Amino acid sequence: MDFQLSDEHKMIAETAYKLGESFGLEYWREMDAKKSFPKEIWQAICDAGLSGAALPEEYGGSDLGMFEMALIVENLSASGGGSTLGQLFMINPIFGGVTISKFGTDAMKRDMLPKLISGEMNTCMALTESNAGSNTLEIRSFAAQDGDGWLLNGEKIWITAVSDAQKMLVIARTKKIDEVTRRTDGLSMFMIDVDRKGLTHHSIDKLGTRTLSSETVFFEDVRIEPDELVGTLHGGWKELLDTLNTERIVTTAGLVGAGQLAIRLAVAYANEREVFGKTPIGAYQGLQFPLAQTHAEIECARLMNYKAAAQFDAGQPYSSEANAAKLIAAQAASMATERSMQTMGGMGYATESHVERLWRDARLFRFAPVSEEMILNFIAVHDLGMPRSY
Ligand SMILES: Cc1cc2nc3c(=O)[nH]c(=O)nc-3n(C[C@H](O)[C@H](O)[C@H](O)COP(=O)(O)OP(=O)(O)OC[C@H]3O[C@@H](n4cnc5c(N)ncnc54)[C@H](O)[C@@H]3O)c2cc1C
């Protein structure tokens, strides 16, 4: 077991950190205030060849692995972006890139992968419905056979960055829920155009992650062409899970970076700020201990995430590690941003200190994309062999 990063890994991490640093915290404050998609930094990430790290070389990627992708996300996040960097990688290289490179047709790969890697195209992923969040298998959006293709009807909620995407990976039932013996049957994945006739979307106002819109989506007789099916008809669930588990690795990397950034800002402030006499507030253990505690937790999540990524890259099972890392990273990043704000007192509440954005953004990940309760359910049932409660 070797815990040292290779020279190549150090170089990748440093490149990502420097790129993030060149945009800086003010860039993110401005984008957040304007609720603008951070397209400038995303384009720079693509131009630097970082978006395609884990995607095939023949389509413009680097054919590295999920481990390298985690390093890139973590460092971009730690240098200013925070957890949003994880989401940017989630929507494009993961939902678009990994799904298409694993399950797409050759034509889809040729058409989409080079555009995703170069930044010419963005994707989004539509799974959640108002009655199917944690209980995903309850989804009711239905794609009915229509000649050689399908007609899609239904609605989705909380879909990230629809307005900035050209393509949507949509998960729908192709067999009604009461026609299947197992709820995992009869689900299919399609890659469709966002601007297609019959597809409408509306923004939801929300607490954080403001640079990426969250939207409700309505499908009214949306025509799906035969060559837009991704993977196996009626057998999309297992294939989707493959994508969702890689999503955990990228999410965790973003949270690890966000936690590191929040702690760094808090320490810098606390070591300067004097309140009573000449002792900086950073000397008070009441402020030190919570930051030290979250630092330790972030480091543990980071190592567990590296293990999940390394196992994915080696073709070994990795979902237990990926879920455990995401659980701890979300809690630790939430606590790191919370304690960072507490450390700064009133200044932590001001947008100019940047911590309030990190705090708003990191909070999301305790219940999305998968909640901590559902991860604990997974650990109890799959890792500990306990009975399922629901
Ligand atoms: C900002 C944002 C962006 C998102 N982006 C996307 C996206 O791009 N695409 C997409 O498809 N979805 C997206 N989602 C949806 C997200 O995946 C869901 O919000 C998440 O899965 C939780 O579902 P829910 O909100 O319906 O909560 P619910 O399922 O209603 O759960 C509510 C609470 O009950 C708990 N709970 C439920 N069942 C159990 C149980 N059996 N045991 C213990 N506790 C339980 C949950 O843990 C949670 O705390 C996004 C959500 C948000 C808020």
Instruction: Yes or no: say if 28 and 354 are a contact pair by the CB < 8 Å rule.
Output: yes
Residue 156: strand pairing partners: 217
Q: What is the average pLDDT across 72-81? A: 98
CA of 136 to the centre of ligand 1 (A): 9
Q: Whose CA is nearest to atom 4 of ligand 1?
A: 158
Ordered structural domains, the chain, with CATH? 7-122 (1.10.540.10), 124-234 (2.40.110.10), 238-383 (1.20.140.10)
Question: Cα 176 to the chain's mean position, in Å?
Answer: 30
- Site to probe by mutation for ligand 1, drawn from 89, 219, 371 as the one with most ligand atoms within 8 Å of Cβ, is 371
Instruction: Tell me the per-residue pLDDT of 244-289, one tens digit each, with 9 for 90 and over.
Output: 889 999 999 999 999 999 999 999 999 999 999 889 999 999 999 9
Q: What is the average pLDDT across 36-52? A: 98
Residue 243 has pLDDT above 90, yes or no: no
Phi, psi of 255, deg, nearest 5? -75, -35
Kindly state the helix (H) or strand (E) to which residue 248 belongs, with its residue range: helix 236-272
CA of 129 to the centre of ligand 1 (A): 10
- Distance of alpha carbon 40 from alpha carbon 10, whole angstroms: 25
Residue 1 has pLDDT above 90, yes or no: no
Instruction: Tell me the per-residue pLDDT of 290-314, one tens digit each, with 9 for 90 and over.
Output: 999 999 999 999 999 999 999 999 9
Which residues lie closer than 8 Å to 130 by C-beta, 6 or more apart? 155, 157
Ligand 1 binding site (Cβ under 6 Å of any ligand atom)? 125-128, 133-134, 158-160, 206, 209, 214, 364, 367-369, 371, 373-374, 377, 390
